Amino acid sequence: MDKGEDKALARLRCSTIDFPWITAPRRSMQALLPGAEVVCMKKGDILYDCNYDGSDVFIVRDGRIFNYFVTSRGHEKVVGVFTAGSLLGELRALDAGADFYTSQVCSESASVYKVSAKRFLQAIEQDAEVRMAVYESLAAKIRLMSRQIEYSVCTSALTKIAYLLLSACKYYGEPAEGGQRIPLSFTHSEIARICGISRVSASNKLQELRSRGAIAQEDGRFILCDLEYLLSLVE
């Protein structure tokens, strides 16, 4: 990687580009794990949907969980992707009377820790570390929703895809020949759902980025070859 790409990578690492990833809080939720049930899922399994009663909260052990917003007409939009260590379901535990029209769907093989809402609420009261971790989780979701509004309303399809690839690179990228490799797998349909665009549009824009030399693919994984150009699309 040349000096220009080094600088572009440094800019990416320090940027606010983060949608759609919901990562583990800096504070520990380890106190919730002893005795917690481990639930294993395969791709496409639904952890819970809009009818969930909030009796448990979940911490992602491994894998990825897609957070879908589902409209009354059945349209789906990915509004977040929960990764290892992140917290799910706490909003229902904290606000049992509210309706949240979201579903949590496994995007690959994954497992989660299941903790009863009662135990979770007790830990918030008694353990300052857990309490601060929950605050961090809630703040991250508010920030994510703000990014989601900006991302959905103010950007083109090409920019949305560039943003997604850059955010994946920021959190998971690793050096590779020709650029930064993203070790996560994405189908064109998944990219379309995350970006809120059609699959055809996603495929066309990805091809445009390939033709420009901004990205490449190897063994089904994306390589970002021109970070400077991709950043110019979103900054």
Q: What percent of the chain has pLDDT over 90?
A: 57
Q: Where are the alpha helices (DSSP H) in the chain?
A: 3-13, 90-94, 117-126, 128-153, 157-172, 188-195, 199-212, 227-234
Q: In this structure, what token pair is assigned to residue 118?
A: 């009662």
Overall average pLDDT of the 152-158 stretch: 80
Do 130 and 172 have their domain in common? Answer: no
Do 106 and 173 have their domain in common? Answer: no
Give residue-wise pLDDT tens across range 18-49. Answer: 888 888 999 999 999 999 999 999 988 989 88
Do 118 and 27 have their domain in common? Answer: yes
User: Above 90 in pLDDT, residue 96?
Assistant: no
CA–CA separation, 19 and 143 (whole Å): 9
Is the residue at 16 inside a domain? no
Mean pLDDT score across all residues of the chain: 88
Is the residue at 31 inside a domain? yes
Boundary (domain end) residue, out of 133, 148, 163 = 148
CA distances for 188 relative to 77, 192, 203, 205, angstroms: 15, 6, 6, 10
**pLDDT at position 228:** 95
Boundary (domain end) residue, out of 127, 148, 169 = 148
Mutual angle of helices 128-153 and 117-126, in 10-degree steps: 110
Q: In this structure, what token pair is assigned to residue 96?
A: 């049992």
122 against 74, higher pLDDT? 122
CA–CA separation, 205 and 210 (whole Å): 9
Boundary (domain end) residue, out of 118, 148, 178 = 148
Overall average pLDDT of the 181-202 stretch: 90
* Predicted TM-score of the model (pTM): 0.81
CA–CA separation, 180 and 182 (whole Å): 7
Do 126 and 189 have their domain in common? Answer: no
Nearest Cα residue to 120 out of 66, 52, 59: 59
Is the residue at 9 inside a domain? no
Do 192 and 98 have their domain in common? Answer: no
CATH number, domain containing residue 95: 2.60.120.10
CATH number, domain containing residue 173: 1.10.10.10
Do 161 and 144 have their domain in common? Answer: no
Is the residue at 10 inside a domain? no
Q: In this structure, what token pair is assigned to residue 78?
A: 């990915």
CA–CA separation, 175 and 69 (whole Å): 34
Q: Is the peptide bond before 20 cis (omega within 30 degrees of 0)?
A: yes
Give residue-wise pLDDT tens across range 115-147. Answer: 999 999 999 999 999 999 999 999 988 888 887
How many Cα atoms occupy the beta-carbon half-sphere of 42 within 13 Å? 0
Is the residue at 2 inside a domain? no
For residue 61, count other CB atoms closer than 10 A to its CB: 16
Do 25 and 141 have their domain in common? Answer: yes
Do 217 and 115 have their domain in common? Answer: no
Number of domains in the chain: 2
Is the residue at 12 inside a domain? no
The domain in which residue 187 lies consists of 155-234
